[in-house]
Structures are given as structure tokens and as C-alpha cells.
Amino acid sequence: MSNAALASNNLIDRTATIVSALGVASASTPASLLQNPHVGKRWRHNASTTWVLADLGALFSIDTVMLAGVAGPNTPAFQVRLSTADSTGAAGDAHNSGLLTGLPYFDGDYEKFIYLLSSPVSARYVRVDFTDASSPATGLYTEAGRWFAGVRNQFTTNFQAGWQNTVVRGSVDVIGVGGQTFVDLRRGHLATQVTFNFVTETERTGFLDDIGVTILNVGHLDMLWLKDPASSNLARDSVWGYIDGDPQLSQQFTFTTLYTLAFTIRQRL
Amino acid sequence: MTTPLYAATVPFISRNSDAPANQQFSGTLEATLRVDRSITAGQLGFGGFTESLSELTLINADAEYDDLAVGFSINGQAIVCSLGQLSSDGKTVDPYAQFVRVALLTGERMRVDRSRLTIEMRDPSMHMLVPVQDRVYPGNGSVQTGNIEDGTDNVAGKRRPRAEGTVFNATGALVVPEELVYQISDTYVTFGAVKDGGIPLVFQNDYEDVETMINNAFQVQPGSYATVKELGYFMLGGPNVFQVTCDVSGPRATTGEVLEWAAIRASNTETLNADRVVPDVTLSQGYTVASTTISVSINPNVFSRTGYDSGKYCYRVVIGPVEGTYAFGLANHGKRSGYSGIGMDTTGGHGNSIAVYRQGSPQAGFVTYQGSLTGETGNAFFANSDILVAVDVGARLFWYKTGTGASWNANPSANPATGVGGFNLQFPGTVYAAGLVNGAGTSVRFDFYPDTSTLPSGYSQWGATPKFAIDTATFDGLDNVQPAQIGYYLDEDQSTTFADMFSLLTNGIGGWFGFSPLGRLQVYRFDAPVTSSLYDYDTHGGNIVDIQRASLPSGLDPPPQRWRCKYQRNYTVMTELAGQVTEVDPSFAETLRHESQVASTSDADAAIVIAIWPDAVDTDPIDSFFVSQADAQTEVDRLLALYSQGAYQAYSMTLANAIFVHQIGDVIKVTDTRLGLSGGKYLRVVSLSDDVSSMTTTVVAFG
């Protein structure tokens, strides 16, 4: 168990970042959709072995890489390479994850791949390779809908007991005169409610203020919530989403500069 | 430039094997689609026009569609709505090819705001808002210039009249006053009588064209008349004393036949011209197959409806399974369906054509023009031959081949795409596709939409893309349930639209028409529900969410005490009649003085209705177009049994799992413990509202 973290400064979304891929299935499935806020709007390549590459334009610290909306007919393997100067991204001189399969990195039920470095490295090129780990494969394709690369900010003191993880049911029910329930099936989503009672001054004026400023000036910010960075299933214990409602930060103890922060992270699909 | 939009309630990318392949469907579609249809606004009872109206919205909260706010129109664009499924684990969307298309609508207007893009849609009924009589008289006709059929200046700009079915006592358009030439219909007609003040004149002769008829005027004595029946003209032998009227029969007889013709014309579907065909030739449903059951004395021709002055086009001819006399080729508008076969134009009229006949030894396809062989030959064709004809109208050349592997014009170097080896078209002017079929059991099918992959480069299908599809089976069905002859006439002063025509004729038989959600024009008669159904609904596990009794339309509650229908429409109500008529046949004189005859249910039947509903009204007669009293009587008796005996009620219900399943007119079986439905009752659907937002269908049904 490790303290929860938020990764909010997405280097993939920087204006200067150029995202490319080994290939695309059609003009409507470009690699640039990995920067589109909708996870459901995906890049696709009709191949089971492929890669995506982000040129950040300059060196940046990175310790967290996530791909959401990862889909394909088979179980993929991944390789994350962070490079300082090789524009193909293949060098991996800053970091090379080697082949990653299954848990804790990827869970097909959540269609999410997460790779966490133990400490940040400096890199300009971020490359994730997909390899079809199973065979035989039919109808080869690889899809991904959202990409995050950046650093995560771990809370000094973890959230309190009483946190809630809600599966929000989207289906619509109609009850007939005969008493039956007719269900109009619709996809659900996740929402996590947490409260931190011991947010430090450094955290308040640091990454939490960065989040607040973005919400203040831009109006919205998508981020990665990591309930437990040491989880055995990172896809399950994380949410790619946004702070739903108004994040409430208040000073609870007059004699120290510690704060209480409560927020809800709502999943983005 | 057209920009397609793809949106779905769940975002997905279509499969590589789908069409369109690998297409991103944005997840912006709100589940708001609702399609409403109803036949509860008929003249009396259920009927009239069922219109599909709908609206859908795409989420625009993150400005995805802001660029469409300016300089973008959705008017007239096709909107395709399909339903698909997620896989059982909910992770993937089924192949787009497995989606079920539930609605094909036409965009009308769209609005973009900060929240959403709203698209208003409707069915293709706008294409029916054009006049039935699409041709007007130019009014510059003269014998000298060979276009006397266009009429003189007194009819300039007026619409050419049209007679459908058996029309009684109609007044034609006087198109050439100095020659006493009238046109009674812009179609082939059979003249029953031409009358002066009600007195029948004597038939003299039928001519190939109006010019020939006028040139033979000296042979038409006073008191007699001549005709050009294929074009619907007649000429008096001498000045008339009273009003001149006609009894004529058009190429079609029943409501179903007339409406199918109208549907094909309104949709602009290319077919054989059903107005230019002799009665000995039968055209199939959809007017693509011409057949004969006997050997006709004059080889009968058929023609395409559309002719071209330029361009490159293809049509396909499939010879029937029975050997007989066949030819195919090209003709101008002056070529008649009678008088002489195509390629045999020796009668001196304006007709001109070229044709390919099978003959010789060894047999080949011989090009024939004005009765003589041109010396050009292609492959022979036989029963079941499949022939593709390519015409370069501008270059006045044509080619044909009898199968995929065959050479064009039996010449390996001939090629329509390069213009090499074409046969000479011989005659100038507009070119129509033409064919000839003769002999017992013979038939020939024309395909004006041959597969584009088979066409030479640069060539198009003969037919333009239809504006909407036609459910021809429903027209067949209407003919089966209502085979009565009708008479419908549009004179030169009318601007009746196809929509008006459909409304009038369907109301006249207690029917309705409309477009299915998939944009197919359908026509039906409203009858009591049959006692079988594929669809059973009940309130205990049977997909009924709610059910109530519903009101009947105001015209049926209370029902009329008496049902009356018009028949034998008199299209010229006459006040001045020849004395011979009033004296010898006063009954006929009375017929000529009234707008129609009326069939009615009996006083005894009315008394029974009044006993149950004392406030039952005695309504105006229904505007029917029946020819015979017997058919009108049958109809009023049917309506009395259907609506005025209290046997049927209306119910309103909400159904689950039935979205886009039903059509107006479907019969469903409904069971409930209340409302007289405990034993199950068969009901006919008269109103439908398919609502995607709740995935329910609201139904009003009668039975």
C-alpha cells in the first residue's frame, strides 16, 4: 500500500507535443486522438504490433505513463521507452521498461495501461510499443483513446477511512403495470470520493494550486487518480477523470498549516 | 462539398471489414431520437397521410460542431439511423454491418448552440409536392415546324391534362382551335366516346401523330372525330354545337395501379414509359418488364421514360425465357409504341429509331434503320440473353454486348470508353432507350440501373438516382384488397401535386399512404385487424409497460349513421345538352347535369346505428372515384361494418423492446386482465411513436 497520488500535468497535451504512431487505420482514427479529451475517441492501427510516440519538444521529468481506452482483440504486451534525443523513441536511454504484460500494468476490464517509475527521469521522447501477446490473432487492430505522461504527486498523508468508490449505473429502468422492470442498458462509469485530512502547505501551494489554477483559468482539467501506486492492479485502483464539483480545501487545525481536502474524481470515458 | 457526420450514443470505430471501414463514430449522439407516425387524421375513419417527423441532437458542449454553425446546410441530406449492440462483455461494439437500419430520413434544418447540434428531419414526402402534370404546353406549335402537338398560344403555359382509369365526360384542352384539335390526356388513352352536348360522335380513324391527323382532316366528316390515341389527342370533323366531352380510359385502372404510376413518377425512378405503351403489352410492377400474351399484329415497342440530348449512358436488356420477336435499340420521342417496330420507321410520321434484330445465317444481331439493314452486325441474342447497351449520345454512336466475356459489337477492338467501333445512331435529336417484344409468352426486362462496375469508363446508368424508394408490394397488396376501377382526371387548369393525388385516391378507398422510417413509400387500405399476428403483447411479462383505452377519432365518435361514397364522377357538369339527349335518354341527361352519383348504406342500417348512438351524424359522401355503383356500394357497406357497428375500440399502450419493430397497419395481439382484453385481442396499429430516449414505443391500435 502506498499513499494516493494525483498526476495532473499531462505533457502529452502540451501544444508543442507531437504525437505520432506506426500507422493509422483511417483518416478518422489519427494518433492525435490520443490528445483528444474523450477516451472513447480513439486512435486505431490495424496491426497488433505497433507503437505510439510523443515528441515533447524539450526535456521534461516523467515518472508516470498511462494509456486509457486500450483495446484490441488480443492481450497486448507493452514496452515504455523514454529517450532524451532519439527522435524514433527507440533508444530508451532515459528509461526502458522492457516487456510488460498483464498485472499490475494492464487490465482489459478497465482498458487501461499504467506504468509508474520509481523516480522521475528526464526525457523528450515517450514511446509505447504494443505487441500482441497472444496468438492466433484475427482482425488485428490496436486502439488507445487517451495518453498521459508526466509526474505524479503523492500525498504525504494518505486519505482517510470512509472513502467511497461508486460504480455509477447509467441504465434507465421502466417499471410496467405488470410489475416487470424493463432495463434500457447504458454504460456506467466510476466515481471516487476521498477526503484528505492532513494536506500540507507545500501540497496546497504546489500541485494542488496548479490544479486549481488550471480549473480557474481553463475551466477543466483531466487527471489520473492513483488510489494506491503500489497496487497489484493499477488499472483497477486508478481513475482517469476529473474533479467533479468544487474541490473543497479548508484549514481544520488553527495551530498548524494542515488542511482538509475532499473531492470526487469522476471517470472520463 | 458534402461532409459526413458520424455519431453514436457509444463511441466506437467501425471494423476494418465494415463499410465505412475504420470510421470513428463520435459518442455525441444523445438518445433523443423519436419518430412519430399516425393515420388518425383521415377524412372519415383512419387514413390519409402518415408523416414521419423526427429530431435528433448531438452533444456540442465541447464545441465539436461549432464549425458547422456557418456555411453548412443539412437540408436535403440523408440521415441514416441504425441500432447496434455492444458485445456481451460490453467492451466492443458489434460490426457496423450487423447494425439494423431503423430510419432513413431527410435533413431539414439544424441549429448549433453551446450545448448541442439539433437536426430536424422528416421523411422524403417533400418530393411528392410537385404537380402530377409536369409538362406544360409551350404554345408555339405549328404544322410547319413539326411540333403542332405543343399547342398554339391559347394553351401556352397550361398543364397537359391527364386521365387515369376510366374517366367519364371530361373536357380536353383545345390545343389547336383552328383545327378543332383537343388533348384529353398526356398519355395513351382508349376513347370510349367523344360527345357534342352529350351526343356521341362517329369515330373516323386513329393516326400516328397530330400532324398526320391534321393533314387528313379532309377525311374527317362533320359529326365524326379522329384520334391520336397514343398521345391522347382527338380532332373534330366539324365545329361543335355544344360542349365537347370525352369518355376515355387510361393505361391504368385501379387505385393501386394509378398510385404506383404516380409513385414512380414522383420518385423519378427510371422505368419503361407506362404512358407510351399499347394495351397489348403488359408492364410489370415497377415498369421494368414488358410482356405480351399474344402475337400482336403491329410489333409493339416500349421506351425509357427519360431521353438524352448528350452524354454517355448504359442500359441493360434481359430477354425473357420464351423465344419470340425481340429487338432493342434507341428511338426519338416521335416514335410510337404502335404503327411499326423500332428500326422499321416507314410510315412517314416523326418517329425515328434504330434497332438490333436477330436474323441471318449464321445468326447475328443486325442493325436496322428505316426498315433496312445498315450492314453493322453484333452478336446474336436469344432467350435469356443479358445485353448491355452503351450509347454516346453526343457522338451518335452505340455499342452492345451479350454477356461479360463478349466483345462490344462483336468486334474485339470496339470499346465505348475509347469511342472505337460504335454503330451509327443514324437519327438526330433526343435519344430514348427502346425495345420490341412480341409473341405469346414473350417478355423483356429493362434494367436502367445496371451495376456500375460493368459500365465502360465514362458511362453512367441510364436512370438518375431515385428520390425515394417504393414499396411495390404494398401497391400490389392494395390492388388485391381493392381492385375496383376508378376514374381520375386532371384538366389543364389544375396543379394537383402527387401528395394531393395520393391523399384524394387513398381517402376515396379508406386507405392511407406514407413513408416507412426507411424512406419507402407505402400505400394501404384500412381494414379490421385479422385474427393472427406475429406480435403478442401482455401486461405480465409481455412487454406492455402501460395500456389504456383511447378515444376514437372525432369523425367516428359517434360513428356516422350512414356511409355514402361518390362514383361515376362527371368531370364536366353540363347545363346545355343536345335535345336528342334530354328527350331520348333523360336519365343520361341527369347524369351529365350532376357532379357524381352516390352509393349509400340503407335507411334500415342507419336506424340501427341511431338506436345505439342517437347523436350519430349523417355526413357528406366520401370523395371516392369509383367507376361503378357496385364497387361504391361494396365500399360503403365495408365502412359501415368497420366503424358503425360498435365492434371495435381503440387502445393506447406503451411497449418495451418494440422500438422500430412496427409499422402503421401492423396487427398485434394484446392481452391484459382489464379493458376487455383478458382473452387477448387483435388490434391494428394506427399511431406509432418510437422513442429512443426511453427505448419505448407508444402505440394506438384499433380493433
* B378, B409 contact by CB (below 8 A): yes
pLDDT tops 70 at residue B42: no
- Across B10-19, B56-65, B66-75, B226-235, which has the greatest mean pLDDT? B226-235
Which tens digits make up the pLDDT trace of B485-538? Answer: 999 999 999 999 999 999 999 999 999 999 988 889 999 999 999 988 888 999
Of A37, A139, A177, the CB nearest to B16: A139
The C-alpha atoms of residue B634 and residue B147 are separated, in whole angstroms, by 46
Q: Do B539 and A178 touch (CB under 8 A)?
A: yes
pLDDT recorded at residue B73: 86
Closest-CA residue of B relative to A175 is B545
pLDDT recorded at residue A61: 98
Q: Per CB distance under 8 Å, which residues of B are interface residues toward A? A: 6, 9-13, 15-17, 21-24, 26-27, 62, 86, 90-92, 538-547, 656-657, 694-696
The C-alpha of A214 sits at a distance from chain B's nearest C-alpha, in angstroms, of: 17
Give me the total of CB pairs closer than 8 Å, taking one residue from chain A and one from chain B.
88
Which tens digits make up the pLDDT trace of B297-350? Answer: 888 999 999 999 999 999 999 999 999 999 999 999 999 998 899 999 876 677
The C-alpha atoms of residue B152 and residue B138 are separated, in whole angstroms, by 8
The C-alpha of A213 sits at a distance from chain B's nearest C-alpha, in angstroms, of: 20
pLDDT recorded at residue A143: 94
Question: If DSSP codes are grouped into helix, strand and coil, which group holds residue B401?
Answer: strand
Q: Do A46 and B12 touch (CB under 8 A)?
A: no
| CB-neighbour burial class of residue B676 (10 A; exposed 0-12, middle 13-18, buried 19+) | exposed
The C-alpha atoms of residue A237 and residue A192 are separated, in whole angstroms, by 10
pLDDT recorded at residue B651: 95
The C-alpha of B545 sits at a distance from chain A's nearest C-alpha, in angstroms, of: 4
| B541 contact residues in A (CB cutoff 8 A) | 178, 180
Mean pLDDT of B15-26: 93
* A241, A190 contact by CB (below 8 A): yes
pTM of the full structure? 0.83
pLDDT tops 60 at residue B129: yes
| B13 contact residues in A (CB cutoff 8 A) | 25, 28-29, 42, 44, 143
| CB-neighbour burial class of residue B547 (10 A; exposed 0-12, middle 13-18, buried 19+) | buried
Q: Do B695 and A184 touch (CB under 8 A)?
A: yes
The C-alpha of A71 sits at a distance from chain B's nearest C-alpha, in angstroms, of: 8
Q: Do A40 and B27 touch (CB under 8 A)?
A: yes
Name which residue leads in pLDDT, A129 or B693. A129
pLDDT recorded at residue B112: 93
Which of B3, B5, B22 is the best mutation test for A, with the most CBs of A within 10 A? B22
Q: Do A71 and B544 touch (CB under 8 A)?
A: no
Q: Could you tell me the pLDDT band of residue B644, with boundaries at 50, 70 and 90?
A: confident
Q: Could you tell me the pLDDT band of residue B48, with boundaries at 50, 70 and 90?
A: confident
DSSP conformation class of B323: -
pLDDT recorded at residue A142: 93
- 3-state helix/strand/coil string of B481-524: HCCCEEEEEECCCCCCEHHHHHHHHHHCCCEEEEECCCCEEEEE
pLDDT recorded at residue B299: 86
* B686, B38 contact by CB (below 8 A): yes
pLDDT recorded at residue A74: 74
The C-alpha atoms of residue A72 and residue A133 are separated, in whole angstroms, by 11
* B697, B675 contact by CB (below 8 A): no
pLDDT recorded at residue A5: 97
Which of A34, A43, A177 is the best mutation test for B, with the most CBs of B within 10 A? A177
Of A38, A178, A186, the CB nearest to B11: A38
Q: Do B540 and A42 touch (CB under 8 A)?
A: no
pLDDT recorded at residue B104: 87
The C-alpha atoms of residue B303 and residue B433 are separated, in whole angstroms, by 6
CA dihedral defined by A204, A210, A215, A218, rounded to 10 degrees?
A: 160
pLDDT recorded at residue B72: 82
Which tens digits make up the pLDDT trace of B368-413? Answer: 999 999 999 999 999 999 999 999 999 999 999 998 789 999 999 9
| B16 contact residues in A (CB cutoff 8 A) | 25, 46, 139, 141
Mean pLDDT of B269-297: 94
The set of cell numbers assigned to B618 is 349523417
Bridge partners (DSSP) of residue B242 are none
Bridge partners (DSSP) of residue B38 are B687
Q: What percent of chain B has pLDDT over 70?
A: 99
Other residues' Cβ atoms within 10 Å of the Cβ of residue B428: 10
| B24 contact residues in A (CB cutoff 8 A) | 26, 28-29, 33, 41-42
* A262, A193 contact by CB (below 8 A): yes
Backbone phi and psi for residue A217, each to the nearest 5 degrees, phi listed first: -90, -35
A164, HSE (Cβ side, Cα atoms, 13 Å): 9
pLDDT recorded at residue B471: 95
Q: Do B545 and A25 touch (CB under 8 A)?
A: no
DSSP conformation class of B132: S
**Spans in chain A with pLDDT lower than 50:** none
The C-alpha of B83 sits at a distance from chain A's nearest C-alpha, in angstroms, of: 13
Which tens digits make up the pLDDT trace of B242-276? Answer: 999 999 999 999 999 999 999 999 999 999 999 99
pLDDT recorded at residue A247: 84
Which tens digits make up the pLDDT trace of B413-453? Answer: 999 999 999 999 999 999 999 999 999 999 999 999 999 99
Q: Could you tell me the pLDDT band of residue B37, with boundaries at 50, 70 and 90?
A: confident
ipTM of the complex: 0.84
pLDDT tops 70 at residue B695: yes
pLDDT recorded at residue A179: 83
